[in-house]
Amino acid sequence: MSRVEKERAAPMESGAQAERRSVVTLREVAEAAGVSVSTVSRILDDRAAPSKSATAERVRSVAEQLGYRRNVFASNLRRGATATIGVLVPRLTDAVMALMFEAIERAARRQGYFAVVATCGDDAEEERRATETLLDRGVDGVILATARLDDSLPASLRERGVPHVLVLRTDGVSASALGDDETGGYLAVRHLLDLGHRDIGVVTGPSFTSSGQDRLRGAERAMAEAGVDLRPDRVISTGYGVDDGNAAGLALLGADDRPTAIFAANDNLAIGVIGAGRRLGIRPGLDFSIVGYNDIPLASRLSPPLTSVATPFDQIATTALDLLFAPRSADPIRRALPTLIPRASTARREASAAGA
């Protein structure tokens, strides 16, 4: 009689008895399914692609009936790992960082890992403390969305041999998965130039981030290619928040000779600029054109919908996981191509001029 049949025939157990019998082993599943332990182990290993064979279906059915639960912790301890990845972001209230973490979590789950997140704001000391806390919890590696160009943390991790990858930003040395921000900045401003705009403002991110510098560099390249000067007073470097965009928007759009178009280096900044325009009675898509960056879900729901450069978060996350435990490659910095998504916040220069 199989274990399943014996349990069906057995009288009801007390709570204490059930608790003692709650741990079901691979051997018990193998005996009930009539296969070897190694076969059960292979079929129930969720890190591998699930088999659709009759044997595999039978094993999974028996495991479910018996209440088998794979002991991931014990399995990983035997391999000297925890199958846990630490992810550090400045804040989860930032839609871009939340989207990035969700993409990493999906990519990690597909590879049999569990991702945990910590936040540190924009404080370098908090970044270091949060990273050490993650490492103290036994994570197998860390993914950082916090890198600054002047940041000493990646160098420290390299020296200590800690597996790590930078996402969305890079220090130019550590393995990094990010968007091609220079191309993204170029696409944004090239779009405005193609619409006939020549007086363009740029609200870029912090100068200590590779993303801010690269998006500005792309904007400058597009302007130079078109033979148009980017006036120094048209460039504002600030934080990545909505309030930062609002202040920059008031400065640019409040000028007597305001620009006809603005490229904001992320969607939060663009939302802030739009708010400043409304406060000044200047309508986006009519009186001025604006392009954002990252294409967060809110961008398409704004009024008017925001033209934005889409960042391929899932591709970046998958690349980050590939780099995290791979041998050091000759090309440790991988950039994914962004895509321009035109919407109603940008219009031809003639239409903008008519509303001005």
Q: Cis omega before residue 304 (within 30°)?
A: yes
Distances in Å between the alpha carbon of 11 and those of 18, 50, 157? 12, 35, 58
Q: How confident is the model at residue 310, as a pLDDT? A: 98
Q: Are residues 63 and 188 in the same domain?
A: no
Q: Are residues 348 and 223 in the same domain?
A: yes
d(CA 335, CA 319): 9
Average pLDDT rounded to a whole number, residues 47-52? 70
Q: Which of 15, 36, 70 is the last residue of a domain?
A: 70
As a whole number, the mean pLDDT across the chain is 88
Q: What percent of the chain has pLDDT over 90?
A: 69
Q: Are residues 271 and 135 in the same domain?
A: no
Q: Are residues 241 and 264 in the same domain?
A: yes
Domain harbouring 238, CATH code: 3.40.50.2300
- 212-263, pLDDT tens digit by residue? 999 999 999 999 999 999 999 999 999 999 999 999 999 999 999 999 999 9
Q: What percent of the chain has pLDDT over 70?
A: 88
Instruction: Please return the burial class of 72, using the count of CB atoms within 10 Å of its CB with bins 0-12, 13-18 and 19+.
Output: middle
Q: How many domains does the chain have?
A: 3
Residue type, 39: T
Instruction: Identify whether the C-beta of residue 317 lies closer than 8 Å to the C-beta of residue 101.
Output: no
Q: How confident is the model at residue 323, as a pLDDT? A: 95
Q: Are residues 118 and 132 in the same domain?
A: yes
- 87-145, pLDDT tens digit by residue? 999 999 999 999 999 999 999 999 889 999 999 988 889 999 999 999 999 999 999 99
Instruction: Please return the burial class of 320, using the count of CB atoms within 10 Å of its CB with bins 0-12, 13-18 and 19+.
Output: buried
66 compared with 191, residue with greater pLDDT:
191
Domain of residue 46, residue span: 3-70
Q: Are residues 140 and 237 in the same domain?
A: no
Q: Are residues 305 and 325 in the same domain?
A: no
Q: Are residues 274 and 345 in the same domain?
A: yes
Q: Are residues 164 and 300 in the same domain?
A: no
d(CA 116, CA 95): 17
d(CA 294, CA 269): 11
Instruction: Please return the burial class of 206, using the count of CB atoms within 10 Å of its CB with bins 0-12, 13-18 and 19+.
Output: middle
Q: Are residues 348 and 211 in the same domain?
A: yes
Q: Say yes or no to pLDDT of 79 above 90.
A: no
Q: Which of 49, 70, 91 is the last residue of a domain?
A: 70
Q: How confident is the model at residue 25, as a pLDDT? A: 84
Residue 261 tokens, joined: 């178009």
Confidence bin at 70 (pLDDT 50/70/90): low
- 6-34, pLDDT tens digit by residue? 444 444 444 433 443 457 888 888 899 99
Lowest mean pLDDT among 73-77, 111-115, 291-295: 73-77
Most confident of 204-208, 329-333, 347-351: 204-208
DSSP letters for 169-231: ---SSS-EEEE-HHHHHHHHHHHHHHTT--SEEEEE--TTSHHHHHHHHHHHHHHHHTT----
Gyration radius of the chain over CA positions = 27
**CA-wise closest residue to 176 among 184, 187, 185, 168:** 168
Q: Which of 70, 86, 110 is the last residue of a domain?
A: 70
Q: Are residues 164 and 202 in the same domain?
A: no
Q: Are residues 271 and 293 in the same domain?
A: yes
Residue 210 tokens, joined: 């590779």
